[in-house]
Amino acid sequence: MNLKSYLIALAVALVLGAWMVSGQFADEPVAQTEESASAAAPMTVEVVEVSARPVQRFIESEGDTEADQDVQLRAETAGRVSAVRVEQGERVAAGDTLLTLAMGDRQARLAEAEARVAQRQADLDAAEQLQRDGYQSEIAVREARAALESARAQLAAIREDIANTTVTAPIDGLLQSRAVDVGDYVRVGDALARLMTTDPLVAVAHVAQQDIRQIELGRPAELTLATGDRLTGRVRYISAAAEAGSKTFRVEVHADNPQGLPVGVSATIRIPLGAARGHFLSPAWLSLNEAGEMGVKTLDEDNRVVFRAVEVIRTQRDGVWVAGLPDSIRLITVGQGFVQAGEQVDPVMAEQPATEP
């Protein structure tokens, strides 16, 4: 190829290049315009209309059940167990004999104490007679009277010791356990048996300090035991002071337990607080704002996003009841994670209604 051909080819290439460059620059403002238009288009979100409805509020706490009375019987005198009258698991009435201890030499010491009292009484009678006749001083009479009182005290002590050899039930209840058997030797203070009263049953809840003022004595309560059983009762005790570590208050609910349901099991305690108006929402519709407040994103009349803080007043398996919202709202259910408060959006009504309780 000669020089002329090279020059022609180079000219054609320069012209094509200039045309392509001019086309690129000519298209750039159009592309920018399209991008700006796309950025300015409001985002589409899905919304539902939700209205407030009456809802029963509860304070709910996880706790445990206890016996109404739980008595640990201990030996008040020493001796060997001579007889057992009640077995574990049996029910007893107050005053029933549970077990007895051997008498040992107590009967002999009782006779000795009774004889000593009789002797001291005779000594006092004689001293008083001599005093009346002028042959005895007041001091001698006082000494005789003191000796008599000492003898009487010793007699009372041996009688009480003998009484303590028979161990009786102080309350109506169930013999939960017995720590001794026939032939065992016990000392003063040794554990003998444990008695429990399970009717009524006591459920213990621990209520947060911010909720404790909402609970009153006598308020009804619902119990759901870990066994699956359900009971109803009333608040019988509210602690006057919070527990130091948790800042919660001990609350006791007493419930009739005629079936003898076991104690010591876990229980869910629900204390009704009265009716309120709230919205029932899916937990997926809740979000947090920059301040860490929990709430939902709604739309105003101009389709702008409004974040509204809420308070959970009741939870259920399929949703939550919240307070703090206007009576009727348009709630963003899809797309709320991609829009911010104040942003204008394009709402589309959901085909499915809001979750129902």
pLDDT 10s digits, 202-218: 999 999 998 899 899 99
pLDDT confidence band for 353 (50 / 70 / 90): low
Calpha distance 151→343 (Å, rounded): 98
104, pLDDT greater than 70: yes
For residue 18, the model assigns a pLDDT of 46
For residue 41, the model assigns a pLDDT of 83
Q: What does the DSSP assignment read for 176-231?
A: EEE---TT-EE-TT-EEEEEEEEEEEEEEEEEETTTGGG--TT-EEEEEETTS-EE
Element (H, E) at 114: helix 106-133
Phi, psi of 245 (to 5 degrees): -75, -50
Mean pLDDT within 45-69: 91
Q: Pick 17 or 76 by higher pLDDT.
A: 76
Angle (CA) 281-282-286 rounded to 5° is 85
76, pLDDT greater than 70: yes
Calpha distance 44→346 (Å, rounded): 4
Average of per-residue pLDDT values in the chain:
86
The structure tokens listed for 15 are: 């012209």
Mean pLDDT within 190-211: 93
Q: What does the DSSP assignment read for 338-355?
A: G--TT-BEEEEE-SSPPP
For residue 122, the model assigns a pLDDT of 93
Mean pLDDT within 35-42: 61
- Terminal alpha carbon distance of the chain: 88
pLDDT in tens, 325-347: 999 999 999 988 888 999 999 99
30, pLDDT greater than 60: no
CA distances 346 to 43, 239, 296, 305, 350, Å, are 6, 54, 17, 10, 13
> Is there a contact between 55 and 279 (Cβ–Cβ < 8 Å)?
no
Q: Pick 35 or 347 by higher pLDDT.
A: 347
Query: Of 55-59, 185-189, 307-311, which range is least confident?
Result: 55-59
Q: Pick 264 or 25 by higher pLDDT.
A: 264
Q: Report which of 318, 315, 273 is spatially closest to residue 294, judged by C-alpha positions.
A: 315
Query: Of 87-101, 208-222, 311-325, which range is least confident?
Result: 311-325
What residues contact 283, with CB distance under 8 A and at least 6 apart? 319, 320
For residue 149, the model assigns a pLDDT of 95
Mean pLDDT within 191-204: 95
pLDDT confidence band for 154 (50 / 70 / 90): very high
